[in-house]
Structure 1
């Protein structure tokens, strides 16, 4: 279980990669990955390629990131989700709030 952050200054993009279970135990690390980033200067990408599971607290953390990034104006992409994780995101109607790639 780990959360890593990559900043691409040329693309003005922050990628937060989540490995393993994405649940409440990851709350502090996830928040720390974006809280010092200026949301007006960067876009956010959440990479779930190596994430095997997410629960309702992870959905809440994604919503908090979206709010931090500008709510309705936010351009937050979620990429690399496996079949089980994508199913949870679709059940929660996250395709209406995030860009799912």
Structure 2
């Protein structure tokens, strides 16, 4: 059963462009991680300053393996002096099990 991890990160307006740059410039190591299924960075449109970082994993064990890896540490160490504190002090990690999923029918 797949698991989803959603990291809700508050980013003040003045740091949002830099925050998005950080993700555009990421090395992509997560995509090579065994058990990784999906990644999305969701930008807030209105009513909040929280970005959502959505990842999907084939199991909790696969996520834990990524979380304990050197690639994870490298991916989460930077962001610059202005960005890192703004993001790290106000975030929440939510965990979900996927119990139903669908995709469009494609011929």
Fold shared, TM-score > 0.5 on shorter chain: no
Q: Which has the higher contact order (CA 8 A, sep 6+)?
A: 2
TM-score normalized with structure 2 length:
0.30
TM-score normalized with structure 1 length:
0.31
**Radius of gyration: which is bigger?**
2
